[in-house]
Amino acid sequence: TITYDHETLVKKILNDEIYQKQFINEFFWDELSLINEMIELLSKIFDEFKTSESEPYAFDEYAKHLKFLITIFTSIGNRKLHPIYFDFLSNELMKLSQYIGKNKGQSFSALDVWNSEKHKIDETLWNELVSYSKSNFWGKCLEQILVR
């Protein structure tokens, strides 16, 4: 087994799609003792997305960010997700949702990813995301994209 420091691991996850899917599928969703470490790792991954999205005309970066999130949601499937993970991932999708669309400043490519991949999210998880968006003051953009 090879061990990675977080920086190397984050780069490998972001740059190798096959490894990314394997990593997400083998993620320790059910290991409660690792929640803090796993949230920290996911935070570093999402921070890398946000850094690349801050560049001018980086609309495709939003699509990559969204694809990563959808891969996580589809990997989870219908398994019961710990509330800490659900809140963390839902909040990430909520923040990203304001950049998904056809309006000025939004990413058309992210909208294409959303429209082609959203059906893969389990119905129960989808309904929880809808509830989350409706109960959150900042959830309007998320609520708007959560239409099947």
Q: Dihedral through CA 83, CA 85, CA 86, CA 88, nearest 10?
A: 120
**In the structure encoding, which two tokens stand for residue 105, read together?**
């400043």
Q: Given phi > 0 = left and psi -120 to 50 = alpha, else beta, which region is 55? A: beta
- Please give the chain's pLDDT, 148 residues, in tens: 455 577 889 999 999 989 999 999 888 888 889 899 999 999 999 999 999 999 888 899 999 999 999 999 999 988 888 999 999 999 999 999 999 999 998 999 999 999 999 999 999 999 999 999 999 988 899 999 998 7
